Amino acid sequence: PSPISLEETQDSIAEIIGAYPKKVARKRSKHIVVRDPSIPEQEINANARTTPGIITQRGCAFAGCKGVVVGPFGDCVHIVHGPIGCSYYSWLTRRNQFKPREDGKEFLHYCFSTDLNEHDVVFGGVNKLKQAVQEAYDIFQPKSITVHSTCPVGLIGDDIQGAAREMTQKLGLPVVAFNCEGYKGVSQSAGHHIANNGFFKHWIGNDTETEEIEGFTVNLMGEYNIGGDSWEIERVLEKCGIKVVSTFSGDASYDDAIKAHLAKVNLVMCHRSINYMASMMEEKYGTPWMKVNFIGVHAFAKSLRKIAKFFDDPALIQRVEDVIVEELAIAEAQLTQYRKRLEGKTVFLFVGGSRAHHYQELFADLGMKTIVAGYEFAHRDDYEGRQALPKIKVDADSRNIEELDVERDSERYNPPSDAEMERLRNEKIMNDYKGMMPDMGEGTLLVDNISHHELDVLIKRFKPDLIGSGIKDKYVIEKFGVPCKQLHNYDYGGPFAGFRGAVNFAKDVDLRVNSPTWQYIKAPWD
């Protein structure tokens, strides 16, 4: 249970809501919920439009498509079709890391843009785009070229899909266009959906030569290798004898992505950004998916066991147990010293669409309590969970997103038998997505799409020992004398996933929380 009393929590909500005009107050009340486990299916509103004038941490569809899901493919060239700003200000700001492959194709550090100007806005920018694709091809010969439109491109109606089709024909490599204009939807979430659709339509299954990949094969879905997380996850998976076919999209290559349909199971790490792909692959290839969490040593161990149970192979189950014992012992030996200094400290978590949940397990490993948490842009299922999601989920904000017609194509892939699927469902290995809410203790507070005003009130009243958040509020938080751990770019640290990552994290958090600096800070507004 939360150490904050129910009266104090309710009083704080009243103060927050009291500052808003009536209509806004009514809307925001539905996004602020005190956790009560005695309510069987407790609800919270999410994925709704932000009221203009309120400062939130959200991004846009362009950020979700180009920046988050597609951008990490380091052996492809990603061209931003639009004025230079969107490209320049998002250049290398997300910390997805990429290891150059033997063929030397590595373009992650470049910034490609068509640099649309007034002339193009008036007369159209398609020719300029085609020229940019040609130039990128001539200079770099990437594995694939992607095109991302920004707001003005959607407004003037440039046919980027037509241009991509034409250039695919001409160059003989996939040129994939994403209509991810920033204004679509209510957050970056719409961009994830657009990215998933594009990949599924133009990349998945492009390898028609490889018939089978032997072994316990998996795809890592929704793991973006921020600060090297995927490398720690892969180290342990490999040690267990589990083979990663492709990752969407951490340290990701086109050559692996086109083989994704050959893996036996999709491991879904960040459900929010990649569930569309998992559903579509299940529909088309019969590939089952399962939710995993690699953040926190016990969460990681639990996920490894779940994967072993999926394959149902005695030798694999034993090897996974051996690896867990070995890795856990090393990690625990180091975590103990930090736990002594961190035990009982309180945390707020406001991050994206999955980390506000995932990191609660890592904080629990350190003896720290998450007392307030919320996503920026996740949907209701990420809070409330669903035993089995509908196969192809149509979201409230997907009005502008083309729903793909997915047809079964099991000739190329041999899905688990009906009896096997039955076992997987019964053991809650498959399609079992619990969401954040059931994991939160009684009396804790959930705040969806938190605003700066709401954050200010909660900091003053609850005085947390640490806040896990992003760049847009980090320095506001620290001016209050509360340390902030950036859980998007990790404050340039990491990895934080897996066993070794947890130890890195503990050290980092200890340095922040137990630094004497904070007590000397006087907020400028005081």
Residue pair 286/410 in contact by the 8 Å Cβ criterion? yes
Q: Return d(Cα 322, Cα 102) in angstroms, integer.
A: 33
Q: Shortest CA distance to 72 belongs to which of 256, 285, 275?
A: 256
What does each C-alpha distance from 331 to 228, 434, 500 come to in angstroms? Answer: 18, 27, 7
Q: Return d(Cα 183, Cα 120) in angstroms, integer.
A: 20
Judged by beta carbon, residue 105 or residue 379, the one nearer ligand HCA is 379
In the complex, residue closest to ligand CFM by CB: 352
Q: Is 63 in the site for ligand HCA (CB under 6 A)?
A: yes
Judged by beta carbon, residue 67 or residue 198, the one nearer ligand HCA is 67
Residue pair 308/265 in contact by the 8 Å Cβ criterion? no
- The structure tokens listed for 477 are 């938080």
Residue 494 interface partner, choices ligand HCA, ligand CFM, none, CB cut-off 5-8 Å depending on type: none
Q: Which of these ranges, 32-40, 56-64, 148-156, 266-274, lies near ligand HCA under the rule CB under 6 A?
A: 56-64
Active site residue 484: no
- Residues near ligand CFM (CB under 6 A) are 64, 68, 94, 188, 222, 224, 226, 270, 272-273, 351-355, 488
Taking CB under 6 A as the criterion, the residue among 5, 10, 93, 141 binding ligand HCA is: 93
Cα dihedral 110, 112, 117, 119 in deg (nearest 10): 140
Site string for ligand HCA, 263-292 (x = CB under 6 A): ------------------------------
- State in angstroms the smallest separation of the CB of 266 from ligand CFM: 15
Active site residue 94: yes
Judged by beta carbon, residue 273 or residue 444, the one nearer ligand HCA is 273
Name, in order, each residue with C-beta under 8 angstroms of 133's C-beta and a sequence gap of 6 or more.
79, 145, 147, 163, 164, 167, 171, 175
Q: Return d(Cα 286, Cα 410) in angstroms, integer.
A: 7
Q: Is 57 in the site for ligand HCA (CB under 6 A)?
A: yes
Q: Return d(Cα 49, Cα 56) in angstroms, integer.
A: 11
Q: Return d(Cα 491, Cα 3) in angstroms, integer.
A: 28
Residue pair 2/443 in contact by the 8 Å Cβ criterion? yes
- The structure tokens listed for 412 are 């190329």
Judged by beta carbon, residue 68 or residue 366, the one nearer ligand CFM is 68
Name, in order, each residue with C-beta under 8 angstroms of 74's C-beta and a sequence gap of 6 or more.
98, 100, 105, 106, 107, 108, 251, 252, 253
Judged by beta carbon, residue 163 or residue 226, the one nearer ligand CFM is 226
Q: Return d(Cα 270, Cα 200) in angstroms, integer.
A: 17
Q: Which listed residue (192, 202, 261, 358) is catalytic?
A: 192
Q: Scan residues 2-41 and list those touching ligand HCA (CB under 6 A).
A: none
Binding-site size for ligand HCA (CB under 6 A) equals: 13
| Alpha helix positions (H), 182-270 | 189-202, 229-240, 254-257
In the complex, residue closest to ligand HCA by CB: 470
Active site residue 35: no
Residue pair 29/45 in contact by the 8 Å Cβ criterion? no
Judged by beta carbon, residue 56 or residue 354, the one nearer ligand CFM is 354
Q: Which listed residue (46, 60, 260, 263) is catalytic?
A: 60
Judged by beta carbon, residue 352 or residue 374, the one nearer ligand HCA is 352
Q: Which listed residue (28, 46, 61, 63) is catalytic?
A: 63
What does each C-alpha distance from 31 to 25, 49, 456 come to in angstroms? Answer: 10, 12, 17
Residue 176: strand pairing partners: 146
Residue 319 interface partner, choices ligand HCA, ligand CFM, none, CB cut-off 5-8 Å depending on type: none
Active site residue 271: no
Taking CB under 6 A as the criterion, the residue among 188, 287, 360, 504 binding ligand HCA is: 188
Residue 354 interface partner, choices ligand HCA, ligand CFM, none, CB cut-off 5-8 Å depending on type: ligand CFM
Q: Scan residues 443-502 and list those touching ligand HCA (CB under 6 A).
A: 470-472, 488-489
Residue 273 interface partner, choices ligand CFM, ligand HCA, none, CB cut-off 5-8 Å depending on type: ligand CFM
Question: Is 493 strand, coil or helix?
Answer: coil
Residue pair 488/352 in contact by the 8 Å Cβ criterion? yes
Burial of 148 (0-12, 13-18, 19+ CB in 10 A): buried
Judged by beta carbon, residue 315 or residue 471, the one nearer ligand HCA is 471
Q: Return d(Cα 226, Cα 232) in angstroms, integer.
A: 11
Cα end-to-end span (Å), the chain: 32
- State in angstroms the smallest separation of the CB of 268 from ligand CFM: 10
Residue pair 362/296 in contact by the 8 Å Cβ criterion? yes
Taking CB under 6 A as the criterion, the residue among 13, 20, 59, 153 binding ligand HCA is: 59
Residue 355 interface partner, choices ligand HCA, ligand CFM, none, CB cut-off 5-8 Å depending on type: ligand CFM
Judged by beta carbon, residue 81 or residue 355, the one nearer ligand CFM is 355
- State in angstroms the smallest separation of the CB of 517 from ligand HCA: 22
Taking CB under 6 A as the criterion, the residue among 222, 352, 435, 443 binding ligand HCA is: 352
- State in angstroms the smallest separation of the CB of 123 from ligand CFM: 35
Residues that bind ligand HCA (CB under 6 A): 57, 59, 63, 67, 93-94, 188, 352, 470-472, 488-489
Q: Give me the active site residues, please.
A: 60, 63, 94, 192
